[in-house]
């Protein structure tokens, strides 16, 4: 399935990828959970997130915090508070630093807490998406505060697309761990 362009596709993709992510997480071994992420020897993994996230909790909290960005942004703008998606002092060029702040904020958050936070914020995002019509989500220019983009594109980015990102990271970690486990 390509990137969702309808409300039905958005909700289906969000649910499907969330279920796939949870299935992948459920299948992680204790060794895979215990071993810190380390992609330092892979020259193809240049983006900052490959160095930032050290474990499953970090990935889940990242997803949760981006859910919160969307929820806060939509609710504020619906209430008439013209607020950008990326909060000040950050912007689309500096959001990497914001992601690091999310990471720092949750270093004392347990994995179970991270799972619970993600489950709750995922449900909130889906419920919010359900409150909009297909036209409100996928027609450009409906909301001035969406900067000419379709509101639904933000929902897709923080759900199905972001869950894909998380699964790729977890699979890459698993792939690095499996040979080590078999060697022992």
pLDDT in tens, 109-137: 999 999 999 999 999 999 999 999 999 99
- Percent of the chain past pLDDT 70, that is, above it, reads 96
Residue 182 has pLDDT above 80, yes or no: no
* Measured distance CA(106)–CA(59) in Å, rounded: 11
Number of compact structural domains in the chain? 1
Residue whose entry in the numeric block shows the structure tokens 């505060």 = 145
pLDDT value at residue 183: 46
Give the pLDDT confidence score for residue 2 in this predicted structure: 84
Judged on CB neighbours under 10 Å (0-12, 13-18, 19+), 113 is middle
Containing structural domain, residue 149: 7-183
pTM of the model: 0.94
Residue 73 falls inside a structural domain: yes
pLDDT, averaged across the chain: 94
Per-residue pLDDT, averaged over 12-35, amounts to 96
Per-residue pLDDT, 184: 47
Give me the count of residues in the chain: 184
Is residue 2 domain-resident? no
Q: Is residue 125 part of a domain?
A: yes
Answer for the pair 125, 155: CB distance below 8 angstroms, yes or no: yes
Give how far Cα 10 sits from Cα of 13, 65, 146, Å: 5, 20, 17
Residue 89 lies in a domain: yes
Chain centroid to Cα 39, Å, comes to 20
Distance, CA of 136 to chain centre: 22
Which pLDDT score, from 0 to 100, does residue 177 have? 85
pLDDT value at residue 19? 98
- Is 136 contained in some domain? yes
- What's 50's domain CATH number? 1.20.120.450
* Residue 1 resides in a domain: no
Return the H-helix or E-strand segment holding 175.
Answer: helix 160-183
The string of pLDDT tens digits covering residues 60-90 is: 999 999 999 999 999 999 999 999 999 999 9
């Amino acid at each position: 399935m390509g990137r969702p362009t309808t409300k039905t596709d958005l909700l289906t993709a969000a649910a499907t990828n969330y279920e796939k992510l949870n299935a992948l997480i459920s299948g992680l071994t204790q060794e895979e959970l215990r071993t810190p992420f380390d992609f330092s020897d892979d020259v193809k993994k240049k983006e900052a997130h490959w160095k930032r996230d050290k474990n499953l909790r970090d990935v889940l909290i990242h997803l949760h915090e981006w859910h919160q960005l969307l929820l806060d942004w939509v609710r504020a703008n619906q209430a008439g508070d013209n607020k950008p998606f990326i909060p000040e002092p950050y912007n689309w060029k500096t959001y990497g630093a914001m992601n690091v702040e999310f990471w720092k904020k949750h270093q004392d958050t347990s994995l179970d807490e991270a799972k619970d936070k993600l489950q709750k914020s995922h449900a909130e995002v889906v419920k919010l998406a359900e409150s909009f019509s297909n036209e409100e989500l996928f027609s450009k220019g409906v909301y001035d505060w969406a900067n000419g983009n379709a509101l639904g594109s933000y929902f897709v980015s923080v759900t199905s697309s972001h869950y894909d990102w998380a699964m790729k990271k977890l699979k890459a970690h698993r792939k690095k761990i499996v040979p080590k486990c078999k060697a022992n």
